[in-house]
Amino acid sequence: MNLSTKTQTPALRTPLYDFHKSLGARLVNFAGYEMPVQYEGIIQEHILVRKSAGIFDVSHMGQLFIKHPENDFSKLTTIIPINFDKLELHQSKYSFLLNGDGGIVDDLIVTRIDEGLQIILNAACKYNDSTLIKNHLGYSFDIQLNENLSLIAIQGPKAASILEKFIKGVSKLQFMHGNKFIYNDKKIYVTRSGYTGEDGFEISIENIYVKNLVEELVNKEKVKLIGLGARDSLRLEAGLCLYGHDLSPTTTPIEANLSWAIPKNLKEDGGFNGDKIILHQIKNNPKRVRVGITPEGKAIAREGVKIFSKNNTEIGIVTSGTFGPSVDGPISMGYVDFNSSKVGEKLLLKIRDNLLPAKVTKLPFYKKNYAKH
């Protein structure tokens, strides 16, 4: 994970910046924001989330709200391949913003709310995404990127029981569903979702109240804050993509192994950006595809490492790689030629001028523990 981003302007800060500093966080520039990469150590924080629960500040991400007088969002299907007419109230869906070639401009979470739609966007993409969506939808839609809201995530097997003490009713939410709740007489919106492979929640709350909620969780329940380093290792163990690394405008959902996120009728009939390319790839297979990779030994194959076949032919590149604390070994994801993508396929990774053995591994590396009800 590249945790530094070159920028011409001073880094932005979330409302929890001072709180992060008071806890001794090591801060880095990420997507234009000064963000905590770790507090006590990446491995300790990672294991804590897997065993108990931890809090992530993800307020740098965009919260886009879209309204329409008739609640008709079908026009969005062209650029975000979802059946918006079938999206239930308070239901969330993982999807992506597509360009004309079927490339992924951003991956995102869409939730149907009382007022219309809430879309969670990646921090580095949120302003560009907002402009693209506004230009596509036109003036009959009310589109607002609300920067008065913070977003925090509490993740881990104890997240529900902990959060229920402060926000009554959240433990009854189904996975990938949300609702309005009350915290200290203030309205907030909570979804049962996250990006760690564990059960958990994301809480949209006004900037002026977020510190109070986080302080209560830390002081009364001893829940620790978790940095971007552990967030990266957690999501990679769960086989989840990081935009700008595993996904890009030149990568289609089929190449990224995300065809499950496109509804069946759209995969058959099209009707969205790049549909001819994507439908062709579905029928005939793409030339390359994202796979899980397990290196042999202890060497970590990080982003940019070239991948070779067992016959020493270059066939791809690593897009994410780290040490997986829960699996006690190095793990990577990358793109390889489709003919070399079968689970168990032997590979070679060029690390420090040495070709080291590895194999294609079924994703995820670590079993997801989402809420079942």
| pLDDT attached to residue 127 | 97
Q: Residue 9 has what pLDDT? A: 67
- Please state the domain count of the chain: 3
Confidence of residue 10 (pLDDT cuts 50, 70, 90): confident
Single-letter residue type at 111: T
User: Has residue 263 been placed in a domain?
Assistant: no
* 8 or 180, greater pLDDT: 180
Domain boundary among 237, 255, 276: 237
Are 122 and 155 in a shared domain? no
Identify the band that residue 2 occupies on the pLDDT scale cut at 50, 70 and 90: very low
139 shares a domain with 176: no
The residue with greater pLDDT, 146 or 372, is 146
Q: Which domain holds residue 317?
A: 287-361
Mapped onto helix, strand or coil, the DSSP state of residue 340 is helix
Average pLDDT of 4-15?
A: 70
Report which residue type is found at 180.
K
Q: Do residues 157 and 109 share a domain?
A: no
Q: Answer yes or no: do 83 and 140 share one domain.
A: yes
- Both structure tokens of 297: 């030994």
User: 155 with 136, same domain?
Assistant: no
User: Which pLDDT does position 7 carry in this prediction?
Assistant: 41
d(CA 368, CA 126): 28
Residue 371: pLDDT band by 50, 70, 90 thresholds? Answer: confident
Residue 373 has pLDDT above 90, yes or no: no
Q: How far apart are CA 216 and CA 239, in angstroms?
A: 32
Average pLDDT over residues 129-157: 97
CATH number at 186 reads 3.30.1360.120
Q: Which of 237, 272, 303 is the last residue of a domain?
A: 237
> Phi then psi for 128, rounded to 5 degrees?
-65, -45
Is 6 part of any domain? no
Q: Is the pLDDT of residue 257 over 60?
A: yes
pLDDT of residue 114: 97
**Average predicted confidence (pLDDT) for the chain:** 96
Residue closest to 158 by CA, chosen among 303, 53, 75: 53
| Residue 215 belongs to some domain of the structure | yes
- CATH number for the domain spanning 97: value is 3.30.70.1400
User: How much is the average pLDDT of 201-218?
Assistant: 98
- 84, 74 in Cβ contact below 8 A? yes
